Amino acid sequence: DEYEKISKIVYMIESSLAILNEDEREVLQMHLIDELTWEQVMIQYEKDHGKQNGYCKRTYERMQRKALRRIREVIESSGLEMLVVNYI
């Protein structure tokens, strides 16, 4: 049923996010969900964590790639990949 499919997808997404570290979640949130540009991500991250703890643009891009790769691995190994593909 529809509710069960959506519940599984939500659970899978939450599980995927749980495997990420705080920085990875934050970068994904800012760039993909909040739709900030990389320059805006850099500014916001430095504002939140201090300029001395900021990174260059390439590092943020690398963090996002690594996080998305880990999420993809969770989805693929969960057996729910086809559920998501068929639902979308």
The one-digit pLDDT tens for each residue of the chain (88 residues) are 788 877 877 777 777 778 899 999 999 999 998 999 999 999 999 999 999 999 999 999 999 999 999 988 877 887 666 666 666 5
Between CA 30 and CA 35 the distance in angstroms is: 6
User: Quick one: angle between helices 38-49 and 57-78, nearest 10?
Assistant: 100
DSSP letter at 79? T
Q: How far is CA 50 from the centre of its chain?
A: 22
Query: What Cα–Cα distance (Å) separates residue 26 from each residue in 5, 48, 79?
Result: 27, 11, 27
pTM confidence score = 0.76
